[in-house]
Amino acid sequence: MPNPNDEYMREILKKARVIAVVGHSDKPYRTSYQIAQYLRNVDYKVYPVNPMVQSIAGEKSYASLAEIPEEIDIVDVFRRSEHLQGVVDDAIAVGAKAVWSQLGVVDQQAARTAEEAGLDMVMDLCIKVEHARLLR
């Protein structure tokens, strides 16, 4: 599955307000932490999803997507490729609108599952880089 065109990604980013970051680290030097901070700085509501920690940067960390108390627009995935199918299944279960997997996170079957369920899917691209390129 090739990645969508710029207009498709621009629309996902423009319509979104709530982003769940699955695999959000509590370590400031980690990429997931830095990208989540960027997303907060450009006015998205970011929910950390990491069952291994209680809070990240002073915010509650959620153990799963199902615990997040509002509708999720984008599920941003910082997990290894072999976990993407499970994250997609969870995203479908909670009614998320899109799944965005970060650089190096690729699973074609998971992408097909997302698309068949009506979710927008972007794979193997950095949401921060694409946001800065398309919307700034």
Query: Domain limits of the chain?
Result: 6-135
For all residues of the chain together, what is the average pLDDT? 97
> What gap in Å lies between CA 42 and CA 3, rounded to an integer?
23
- Residues 6-15: pLDDT tens digits? 999 999 999 9
Question: Is the pLDDT assigned to residue 22 strictly greater than 90?
Answer: yes
Question: Is the pLDDT assigned to residue 4 strictly greater than 90?
Answer: no
Indicate the burial class of 80 (C-beta count within 10 angstroms; 0-12, 13-18, 19 or more): exposed
What is the reported pTM? 0.96
In the CATH scheme, what is the code of domain 6-135? Answer: 3.40.50.720
pLDDT of amino acid 93: 99
Helix (H, G, I), strand (E, B) or coil at 10: helix
CA neighbours closer than 13 Å in the CB half-sphere of residue 116: 8
DSSP state of 62: B
Question: Is the pLDDT assigned to residue 1 strictly greater than 70?
Answer: no
User: DSSP letters along 71-85, please?
Assistant: --SEEEE-S-GGGHH
pLDDT band, very low/low/confident/very high, at 136 (cuts 50, 70, 90): confident
- Residues 52-104: pLDDT tens digits? 999 998 999 999 999 999 999 999 999 999 999 999 999 999 999 999 999 99
